[in-house]
């Protein structure tokens, strides 16, 4: 199989959103050929199985382009409420990893046990999340003092923190219900995370479920201390939530699974067109 993928024509997000998709393809054994293709303001075009597809990477729930121009579209942050009525628009997966070989090696070594009292919140306040992250970090720091880790490190050190923590508090960025990269990476390594309820659909129409794949706090974070106290008293349950999160990641969001999903969606869409 071959994926015709756009070259970098000065796109701001080429080394993030674009790179994630073509590394997914390469890790799944898809041959990637880069050519000069059209770009849009909040997505990119590619050609797979001879069909033009749109990958929409917008963080917000609005549609960035006239999707009726495409036989099929995939979206990183798919919301059932916002996008469920669009018949050529399918969930993909948020950005997780670029170096899949490194992830597969480390996921066997990084084991979450909820054995520590350390609370993680390793997110830079900025952009749409500036006020929200500063406010919640201040509350956490006042309550937990030296138990709170807000340090910013390189990726591997960030992942290694999982081995020595109770739980990770994840304050979403662009939207207060988005599944951010850091939280999704922690879920992929099997850690228990806390965030407001997530409005996200993953491949195969799977969704992260509160109390099963993560712990959901109120959108205003008013019950955050209560949830952390619960984690202290229910460490085995936290470990189980982390395991479930990792299973969900392997079920939906590894390169092989993502490409299985893309092929499935395209086959179903083509079959539907033939029957109509």
Complete DSSP assignment for 187-221: HHTT--EEESPP--BBGGGB---BTTTBEEPPTT-
- Cβ proximity of 68 and 74 under 8 Å: no
Query: Can you give the pLDDT at residue 269?
Result: 86
Query: Can you give the pLDDT at residue 64?
Result: 72
Query: Can you give the pLDDT at residue 45?
Result: 92
| Mean pLDDT, each 10-residue run in order, the chain (276 residues) | 93 94 97 87 88 93 82 95 92 98 98 98 90 96 96 97 98 95 98 98 98 98 98 98 98 98 93 71
- Cβ proximity of 91 and 78 under 8 Å: yes
Do the bridges between strand 89-91 and strand 72-75 make them parallel or antiparallel, or are there none, so unpaired? parallel
Sign of the dihedral through C-alpha 136, 141, 143, 144? positive
Ranges of each domain in the chain:
2-93+254-275, 101-251
Query: Can you give the pLDDT at residue 41?
Result: 66
- Cβ proximity of 120 and 168 under 8 Å: yes
Please state the pTM of the whole predicted model: 0.96
Determine the Cα–Cα distance for residues 133 and 128; give it in Å rounded to an integer. Answer: 9
Determine the Cα–Cα distance for residues 184 and 200; give it in Å rounded to an integer. Answer: 11
Query: Can you give the pLDDT at residue 168?
Result: 98
Query: Can you give the pLDDT at residue 1?
Result: 86
HEC sequence for 72-127: EEEECCECHHHHCCCCCEEECCCCCCCCHHHHHHHCCCCCCCCCCCCEECCCCCCH
- Cβ proximity of 249 and 188 under 8 Å: yes
Query: Can you give the pLDDT at residue 276?
Result: 63
Query: Can you give the pLDDT at residue 101?
Result: 97
Determine the Cα–Cα distance for residues 120 and 14; give it in Å rounded to an integer. Answer: 30
H/E element, 56: strand 51-56
In 3D space, the residue among 90, 68, 103 whose CA is nearest the CA of residue 205 turns out to be 90
Determine the Cα–Cα distance for residues 57 and 17; give it in Å rounded to an integer. Answer: 7
CATH superfamily of 101-251: Glycogen Phosphorylase B; (3.40.50.2000)
């Amino acid at each position: 199989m071959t994926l015709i993928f756009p070259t970098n024509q000065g796109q701001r997000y080429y080394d993030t959103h674009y790179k994630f998709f073509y590394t997914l393809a390469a890790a799944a054994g898809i041959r990637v050929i880069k050519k000069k293709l059209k770009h849009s303001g909040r997505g990119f075009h590619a050609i797979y199985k001879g069909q033009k597809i749109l990958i929409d990477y917008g963080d917000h729930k609005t549609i960035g382009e006239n999707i009726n121009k495409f036989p099929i579209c995939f979206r990183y942050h798919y919301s059932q409420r916002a996008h469920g009525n669009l018949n050529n628009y399918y969930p993909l997966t948020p950005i997780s990893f670029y170096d899949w070989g490194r992830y597969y090696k480390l996921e066997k070594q990084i084991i979450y046990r909820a054995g520590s009292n350390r609370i993680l919140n390793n997110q830079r306040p900025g952009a749409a999340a500036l006020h929200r992250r500063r406010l919640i970090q201040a509350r956490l720091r006042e309550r937990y003092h030296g138990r709170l880790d807000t340090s910013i490190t390189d990726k591997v050190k960030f992942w290694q923190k999982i081995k020595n923590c109770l739980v990770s508090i994840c304050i979403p960025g662009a939207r207060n219900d988005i599944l951010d990269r850091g939280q999704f990476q922690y879920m992929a390594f099997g850690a228990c995370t806390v965030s407001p309820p997530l409005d996200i659909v993953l491949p195969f129409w799977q969704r992260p479920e509160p109390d099963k794949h993560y712990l959901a706090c109120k959108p205003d974070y008013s019950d955050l201390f209560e949830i952390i106290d619960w984690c202290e008293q229910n460490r085995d349950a936290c470990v189980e939530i982390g395991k479930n999160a990792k299973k969900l990641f392997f079920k939906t969001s590894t390169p092989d699974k993502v490409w299985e999903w893309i092929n499935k969606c395209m086959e179903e869409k083509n079959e539907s067109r033939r029957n109509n």
